[in-house]
Amino acid sequence: MSALINTKYLDCIEACQACLIDCKVCLSKMATMESKNDCPYCCVQAIDVLQATIGLMAADSKFAVEHCQLCAKVCEYCAKHCAEHDEDWCQRCAESCRKCVEECRKLAA
């Protein structure tokens, strides 16, 4: 991580980056598969909010904490849907989302 990033965001940025990667993997693997719920659509939404949240934290934006609250909600939704699938990538995505939720809520508290 860059020394220019506000250190209060480091753990959250790291969790969001890991979640972003796992959501992209889940989305790509699920793209050709039938889903019984909102996966992979939830991953699309999570990817969008994760990218924005990471960017706002990196910029030390006054809106970063508010965005972390939204990010936690979207990732919680994504974790719920991905966890309902047995595929390894869905389970990994759900776990990353839960970790992201934890870090975003910790920052927003």
Mean pLDDT for the stretch of residues 17-44: 92
Under CATH, which architecture does the 7-108 domain have?
Up-down Bundle (1.20)
Kindly report which listed range (34-38, 61-65, 83-87, 102-106) carries the lowest average pLDDT score: 34-38
Checking 25-34 for CB contacts under 8 A at 24+ apart, the result is 25/89, 25/92, 25/93, 26/82, 26/89, 26/90, 26/92, 26/93, 29/87, 29/89, 29/90, 30/85, 30/87, 30/89, 30/90, 33/87
Query: Over the stretch 11-28, which tens digit does the pLDDT of each residue have?
Result: 999 999 999 999 999 999
Domain extent listing, the chain: 7-108
Distance CA 22, CA 43 (A): 9
pLDDT in tens, 45-98: 999 999 999 999 999 999 999 999 999 999 999 999 999 999 999 999 999 999
